[in-house]
Amino acid sequence: MNTSLMGVIDATTFHKSLKDLILHRTIAALPFGGRYRLIDFVLSSMVNSGITSVGVFPKYNYRSLMDHLGSGRNWDLNRKRDGLFFFPAPMFDAPYKQIGAFDHFSYHINYFKRSKQEYVIVANCYSVFNMDFNDVLDRHIENKCDITELTKYGNSLEVYLLKRELLIELLETKDITGYTCLKDVMNDSNNRYAICSYEYDDYFVMIDSVESYYHTSLQLLDSFTWKKLFRKDQPIYTKVKDEPPTYYGKGAVVENSMIANGCIIEGHVENSIISRAVKICKGTVIKNCIIMQKTQIGENCYLDSVILDKDVKIEDGIELVPLRLNKPIVVKKGVVQGALMNQ
């Protein structure tokens, strides 16, 4: 247990390049790897670092995120003291307007003032990684830093460590300084703080576009990447769902793919990630695809390099192949793709 460090997850960001996948959910709740959500990686890293107080600050479309996190029990954060705290945005008139996280944080400033931890990790919610923040804290204290920024190859990872009292000061003076987030502080060459960088040399990918989401997802099929992320000593936790095992039909073929529980697979699946309760009918070929929960794909279809969101229905005989290389097709949540639409 780390009594000197608390966690803050900034879930206020809206990436326009991910619009087709986050119109009905916050980016923190974007499904990943068949059974996870993006927030699971930063939240698990905090819990594995001994952090017992985590505040999540979403801005829009956060119903699915609330459902996923629940009481925090799956991350051992349903506690009498500290635990998981959920702080919705105070304004709903312009959900996609980017005004900076400080405005959101300051609305809930009493959370920071009442907390007992001396230091705070402020992290984005859309990165795939698995790390121990105690190493960052040790370096921060050793070098007598005011703010430590995590970097990779010199580029910001939008993860910061600073004293809780300094964060409160930044929130209370934001109207004077003009700072809207910690990135603004980093970009101000005239800031009065001792800024340090912590170069992180392990696996870390920021999901900020459909292309990065697609390619990072399929990287999980590589055993080297899988072992980097999913470690026995630092597990990635997620919401647990009890579902029956996947049923494989007599003619089913599955190669180099991840198949979640509760599916019915009767076709050919290759180099793909299939989420819970997906149905793939006979004669259908799925290659290099990401298929989200409860999607149904009819008979004799051919899909290559396609992302199907939740509850999509693909009718019989549909072919979906992107026109451009490395530019996957995205079918939005709940869409019915039929022969007429395909034409």
User: How far is residue 218 from each of residues 277, 291, 317, measured CA to CA in Å?
Assistant: 20, 12, 25
pLDDT the model gives residue 326 = 77
| pLDDT tens profile 9-33 | 999 888 889 999 998 899 999 999 9
Q: Tell me which architecture the domain covering 5-229 has in CATH.
A: Alpha-Beta Complex (3.90)
* pLDDT at position 1: 64
| Whether pLDDT at 3 is above 80 | no
CATH class of 247-342: mainly beta
Question: What is the token pair recorded at 246?
Answer: 């996947």
Compute the distance between CA of residue 285 and CA of residue 301 in angstroms, rounded to an integer. Answer: 6
Lookup: tokens for 229? 């992320």
Q: Where are the domains of the chain?
A: 5-229, 247-342
Query: Does the structure show a pLDDT above 70 at 296?
Result: yes
DSSP string, 165-210: HHHHHHHHTHHHH---SHHHHHH-TT--S-EEEEE--S-EEE--SH
Q: Among residues of the chain, what percentage have pLDDT more than 90? A: 86
Q: Residue 343: is its pLDDT beyond 80? A: no
- Annotate 245-314 with DSSP letters as a single string: PPEE-TT-EEES-EE-TT-EE-SEEES-EE-TT-EE-TT-EEES-EE-TT-EE-TT-EEESEEE-TT-EE
Q: How far is CA 231 from the centre of its chain?
A: 18
- Percent over 70 (pLDDT), the chain: 95
CA–CA distance, 326 with 248 (Å, rounded to integer): 30
- Give the C-alpha separation, 315 to 321, whole Å: 15
The whole-number average pLDDT for the span 50-61 is 93
